[in-house]
């Protein structure tokens, strides 16, 4: 199959082509490999890395290029830097056995055909010769691309035992491309789901993060659950199944159904918005009560704590953990925004996670009652207020209070907080007005 490479990738393509040509000129075979070839054939000309596979040994690669870094020399992987762009150049290899459900016991340098056979799925086992503009397909990957299938290469059970991370990768590819998982591959996934316990949490997180921020995170969640993987990697979400909700607010069904629907409504979310949507209701199972109706009192507070623990277990970054915590902890505050004092509203709009919280609120509403009044109100108010109105510099600081004769201490915080609220309420406009207010209230403030 011939490929016409888009001009938008010209620099990267030309640099990678230069590497391939130099290897060929020195008597080696060299091709583009893996996911980049798959995406080209699917017409997805993104900004992904171009990986190169070759029969040249790591030593040969190091001798042929001036800027080379060994990143996995034992596995035959070298990093070649051309035109400021790093490219992985890997020697064709066969993997022998496995020591931990993740890494091969031994690596043997081999041929392109044998290298393709060791890879995970047929759609990822394709090679592309850029000098001839042709695809090398030893695993029927093109056929499965046309059939929209994720199929393990060879024996699915063997492929998963070689690397159990492939269990969640299969889900990610199926969700991303809208593919089905081939029947034998799916059965092997369900049978060996427990193998995911052999995989480091941070590696699992990376795959989950790609699923949630990529296309069709709702389908990814459903596949994770159906394969029994969800109960192992995120039991907090699996327990949402069957948790009843009041029909007048949630006609869509139980909490799991609501979460799936909310994920389906995300539009190019940040990681914070995506994870917040996935985890925003995980406090409901433990807070559910039945009185006049089903209630989940303080589920947002409980959920925020559970989300923090889950993300810490997955070794997520501190910035993501803190952002998701704030979004979930505050997601019930949206019902009161139209009644907030101006100062409180401005603080709400000024929150670092405001845009992520707003996206969570949007999909949360659309996945349940459908009322976007508060969302529209906040969008309107944020558009009306300039940044300097939402986040103005304080009229006075601690140094100003000292110059007015105040002794540093807890009183400073109380004074400055009151001043800032009045400033946000637009009742104080200048530093002089602020000083006059402090003097007029000195006795009360210091009592």
C-alpha torsion sign, points 207, 212, 217, 223: positive
With contact defined as beta carbons under 8 Å apart, do 275 and 254 qualify?
Answer: no
> For residue 34, what pLDDT is reported?
86
Tell the CATH superfamily of the 7-147 domain: Beta Polymerase, domain 2 (3.30.460.10)
**Full DSSP string of 147-211:** HTEE-BSS-HHHHHHH-TTHHHHHHHHHHHHTPEEPHHHHHHHHHTGGGGGGS-HHHHHHHHHHH
φ, ψ for residue 296 (rounded to 5)? -135, 65
Tally: H helices and E strands in the chain: 25, 13
pLDDT at 103: 60
Do 7-147 and 235-390 share a fold?
no
- Is the model's pLDDT at 400 over the cut of 90? yes
pTM of the model: 0.90
**pLDDT score, position 249:** 82
pLDDT of residue 107 exceeding 80: no
CA 93 to chain CA mean position, Å: 31
Q: Which residues lie below 8 Å from residue 44, measured CB to CB, with a gap of 6+?
A: none
How far CA 36 is from CA of 2, 44, 49, 62, in Å, comes to 15, 9, 7, 24
Express as a percent the part of the chain with pLDDT over 70. Answer: 95
At residue 402 the predicted structure's pLDDT band, cuts being 50, 70 and 90, is very high
pLDDT of residue 100: 59
pLDDT at 366: 97
What's the burial of 322, exposed, middle or buried (CB within 10 Å: 0-12/13-18/19+)?
middle
pLDDT over 90, % of the chain = 82
Model confidence band, residue 46 (pLDDT cutoffs 50, 70, 90): low
pLDDT at 326 over 70: yes
Q: How many residues are there in the chain?
A: 447
Model confidence band, residue 276 (pLDDT cutoffs 50, 70, 90): very high
The residue-averaged pLDDT of 38-59 equals 88
* Beta-bridge mates of residue 27: none
pLDDT digits (tens, 9 = 90+) for 124-159: 999 999 999 999 999 999 999 999 999 999 999 999
CA 242/CA 253 separation, integer angstroms: 9
102 has pLDDT over 70: no
Per-residue pLDDT band at 105 (split at 50, 70, 90):
low
Domain 235-390 has CATH 1.10.3210: yes
Domain map (residue ranges) of the chain? 7-147, 154-233, 235-390, 398-446
- Residue 49: what pLDDT? 87
**Rounded (5°) CA angle 29-32-33:** 105
Q: Is it true that domain 154-233 has CATH number 1.10.110.30?
A: yes
Contact between 308 and 282 under an 8 Å Cβ cutoff? The reply is no
Token pair in block for residue 323: 């952002």
């Amino acid at each position: 199959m011939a490929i016409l490479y888009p001009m938008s990738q010209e620099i990267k393509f030309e640099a990678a082509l230069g590497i391939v040509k130099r290897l060929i000129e020195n008597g080696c075979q060299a091709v583009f490999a893996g996911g980049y070839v798959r995406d080209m054939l699917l017409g997805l000309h993104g900004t992904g890395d171009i990986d190169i596979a070759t029969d040249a040994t790591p030593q040969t690669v190091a001798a042929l290029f001036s800027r080379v870094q060994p990143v996995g020399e034992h596995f035959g992987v070298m990093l070649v830097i051309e035109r400021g762009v790093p490219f992985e150049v890997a020697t064709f290899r066969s993997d022998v056995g496995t020591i931990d459900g993740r890494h091969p016991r031994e690596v043997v340098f081999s041929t392109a055909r044998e290298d393709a056979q060791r890879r995970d799925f047929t759609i990822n086992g394709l090679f592309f010769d850029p000098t001839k503009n042709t695809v090398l397909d030893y695993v029927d990957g093109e056929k499965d691309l046309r059939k929209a299938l994720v199929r393990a290469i060879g024996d699915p059970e063997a492929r998963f035992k070689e690397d159990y991370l492939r269990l969640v990768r299969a889900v990610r590819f199926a969700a991303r491309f809208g593919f089905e998982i081939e029947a034998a591959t799916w059965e092997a996934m369900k049978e060996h789901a427990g193998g995911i316990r052999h995989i480091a949490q941070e590696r699992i997180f990376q795959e989950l993060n790609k699923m949630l921020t990529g296309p069709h995170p709702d389908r990814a969640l459903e596949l994770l659950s159906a394969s029994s993987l969800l109960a192992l990697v995120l039991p907090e979400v699996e327990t949402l199944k069957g948790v009843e909700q009041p029909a007048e607010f949630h006609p869509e069904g139980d909490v799991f159904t609501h979460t799936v629907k909310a994920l389906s409504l995300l539009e190019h979310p940040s990681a914070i918005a995506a994870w917040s949507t996935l985890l925003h209701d995980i406090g409901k199972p433990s807070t559910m009560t039945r009185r006049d109706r089903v209630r989940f009192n303080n589920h947002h507070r409980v959920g925020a704590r559970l989300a923090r623990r889950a993300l810490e277990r997955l070794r997520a970054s501190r910035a993501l953990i803190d952002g998701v915590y704030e979004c979930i902890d505050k997601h019930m505050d949206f019902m009161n925004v139209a009644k907030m004092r101006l100062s409180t509203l401005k603080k709400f709009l000024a929150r670092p996670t405001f845009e992520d919280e707003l996206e969570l609120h949007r999909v949360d509403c659309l996945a349940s009652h459908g009322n976007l009044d508060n969302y529209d109100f906040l969008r309107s108010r944020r558009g009306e207020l300039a940044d300097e109105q939402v986040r103005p510099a304080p009229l006075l600081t601690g140094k100003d209070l000292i110059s007015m004769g105040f002794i540093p201490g807890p009183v400073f915080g109380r004074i400055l907080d009151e001043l800032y609220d009045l400033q946000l309420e637009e009742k104080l406009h200048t530093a002089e007005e602020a000083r006059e207010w402090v003097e007029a209230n000195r006795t009360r403030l210091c009592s």
